[in-house]
Amino acid sequence: MNNSDCLFCKILAGEIPANRAFEDEFCIAFPDINPQAPTHFLIVPKEHIASQAKAMAEHEPLLGHLLAAAANLARAQKLDKGYRVVINTGDDGGQTVHHLHVHLLGGRAMKWPPG
């Protein structure tokens, strides 16, 4: 599914360039343009799902794949000391692009609570 007004759908379609650090048949990963850590990638499913709140039971394999992709990317980036995986959901959750995506943040110590 593609949403023609969605920023991430435009990146997926190649209409907007992105430095793809990872890509497979289900998702892509690219650096966040507003990084919150020395290493900050977005992992975006190729299927347009507006948010985590809109994910359904049939999305379970894809959701698991996104987390596995984050772990693989973290290994490739040598984030051996640790990293954080975040899914912002909805406006109050800090989601600014309404296409489900996973943030991979690392390269510094993370604080808790995050925000």
Q: Which residue in 22, 21, 2 sits closest to 12, CA to CA?
A: 2
Check residue 115 and give its pLDDT. 67
CATH topology of domain 7-106: HIT family, subunit A (3.30.428)
**Sheet with strand 22-23: strands edge to edge:** 22-23, 27-31, 39-45, 102-106, 83-86
Catalytic residue, from 40, 99, 101, 103: name it.
Answer: 101
Q: Where exactly are the structural domains of the chain?
A: 7-106
**Can you give the pTM of this predicted structure?**
0.94
Q: Is 101 a catalytic residue?
A: yes
pLDDT digits over 10-61, tens only? 999 999 999 999 999 999 999 999 999 999 999 999 999 999 999 999 999 9
Check residue 1 and give its pLDDT. 45
